């Protein structure tokens, strides 16, 4: 199905909204845009449009969305995961996370499935179907805003898919998230996470979009990384490091290395040595994330002794790190779990 046949008012400018809806007065496009940003889910809620206009629009378009929420899970911390059905039946997921200060982060998907095949990720076991359009990315954010009890202040592209393999739509979505007359999120509060797609990192640095970058490193050993992350067979650690040096030079920014700790796999003293060599000369912080087990995956979460021993190895080598045992981990887990289950049941 071509995008043009899909009705969605998201990731559209006020002028585009006015055109799509055939509004006689152009300022009405801005009114609709502002209502969508405020979280309206139907034209009936847009009370500064005249009643006859609201009923005409509602009768033509029951919803401004192209997608709908088909399942939602909440954990004890209040973090919520939504499964969203797209116009073509594809299922994706997005997550609302709360940090310890109470700030809300939306974790968004960029693709249906993923072609990257990382062995520690549930999405990697799902077939890649397609890239998400920019409006499908913004609709995830809007669905999460609807269930959030206060404004969402941060966005991370860490859901299903490799965002830099869908860079045009992701960058377009970022521009709508940033729009000062729209959601008004600071670029510094938007993080794009990549598995290490080198051409995408270079493309992002050329575009000079001042978002934060996170790289899922997982190990700084080429042999292990090629086993765990097939992307490393195309772009090895030396190539990845060169791209990160370039990104840092252009953006002047520190970036994050995501390090998923896996039992008996990547958290020995020699793994810490490899990591030290990779980090030397980079302005970087390592974010340690214990692997979250899942029936479909072959790995185990590390023991607390393993985590303690690895963090002390990092301390000895002066590698800056944080440990993310975040709220919502129990449902964020291996991304793709909820969507994978629903796809299998369909």
Q: Indicate whether 173 belongs to the interface with ligand SF4 (CB under 6 A).
A: no
Q: 55: which 2 tokens?
A: 């009923």
**Distance of alpha carbon 338 from alpha carbon 181, whole angstroms:** 34
Clarify whether 335 is annotated catalytic. yes
User: In the complex with ligand SF4, which residue's Cβ is closer, 193 or 248?
Assistant: 193
- The phi, psi pair for 117, rounded to 5°, reads 65, 30
The angle that helices 167-178 and 198-207 make with each other, rounded to 10 degrees, is 40
Give the Cα separation of 126 and 113 in Å (integer): 5
Q: Which stretch binds ligand SF4 (CB under 6 A): 27-35, 155-163, 233-241, 273-281?
A: 155-163
CB neighbour class for 308 (10 Å; exposed up to 12, middle 13-18, buried from 19)? exposed
Rounded Cα distance, 113 and 20, in Å: 30
Which tokens go with 290?
A: 């214990």
Smallest gap from Cβ 333 to ligand SF4, in A, equals 12
57 or 192: whose CB is closer to ligand SF4? 192
In whole angstroms, how close is the CB of 257 to ligand SF4 at the nearest point?
14
Stretch that binds ligand SF4, among 48-56, 80-88, 146-154, 158-166 (CB under 6 A): 158-166
Size of the site for ligand SF4 (CB under 6 A): 13
343 binds ligand SF4 (CB under 6 A): no
Q: Which residues lie below 8 Å from residue 38, measured CB to CB, with a gap of 6+?
A: none
Site residues (CB under 6 A) for ligand SF4, limited to 180-199: 195
Cβ closest to ligand SF4, residue 8 vs residue 216: 216
Strand duo 104-107 + 111-112: pairing: unpaired
Scanning 28-36, 39-47, 113-121, 166-174 for contacts with ligand SF4 by CB under 6 A, the matching segment is: 113-121
Interaction site with ligand SF4 (CB under 6 A): 114, 116-118, 121, 123-124, 160-162, 195, 216, 335
């Amino acid at each position: 199905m071509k995008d043009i046949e899909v009705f969605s008012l998201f990731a559209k400018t006020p002028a585009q909204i006015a055109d799509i809806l055939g509004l006689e007065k152009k300022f009405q496009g801005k009114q609709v845009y502002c209502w969508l940003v405020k979280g309206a889910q139907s034209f009936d809620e847009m009370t500064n449009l005249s009643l006859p206009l609201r009923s005409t629009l509602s009768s033509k378009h029951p919803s401004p969305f192209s997608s709908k929420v088909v399942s939602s899970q909440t954990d004890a911390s209040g973090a919520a995961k939504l499964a969203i059905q797209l116009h073509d039946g594809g299922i994706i997921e997005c997550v609302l996370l709360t940090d310890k200060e109470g700030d809300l982060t939306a974790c968004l998907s960029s693709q249906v499935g993923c072609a990257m095949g990382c062995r520690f990720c549930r999405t990697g076991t799902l077939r890649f179907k397609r890239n998400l359009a920019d409006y499908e990315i913004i609709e995830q954010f809007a669905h999460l805003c609807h269930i959030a009890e206060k404004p969402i202040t941060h966005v991370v592209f860490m859901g299903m898919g490799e965002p830099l393999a869908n860079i045009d739509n992701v960058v377009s979505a970022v521009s709508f998230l940033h729009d000062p007359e729209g959601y008004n999120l600071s670029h510094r509060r938007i993080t794009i996470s990549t598995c290490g797609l080198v051409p995408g990192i270079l493309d992002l640095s050329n575009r000079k979009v001042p978002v934060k970058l996170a790289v899922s490193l997982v190990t700084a050993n080429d042999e292990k990384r090629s086993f765990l992350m097939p992307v490393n067979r195309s772009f090895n650690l030396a190539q990845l490091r060169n791209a990160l040096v370039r990104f840092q030079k252009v953006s002047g920014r520190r970036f994050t290395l995501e390090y998923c700790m896996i039992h008996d796999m990547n958290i020995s003293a020699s793994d810490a040595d490899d990591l030290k060599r990779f980090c030397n000369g980079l302005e970087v912080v390592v974010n340690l994330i214990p692997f979250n087990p899942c029936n479909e995956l072959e790995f185990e979460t590390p023991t607390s002794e393993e985590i303690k021993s690895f963090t002390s190895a990092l301390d000895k080598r002066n590698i800056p790190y944080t440990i993310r045992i975040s709220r919502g981990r129990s449902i964020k887990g291996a991304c793709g779990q909820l969507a994978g289950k629903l796809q299998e049941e369909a």
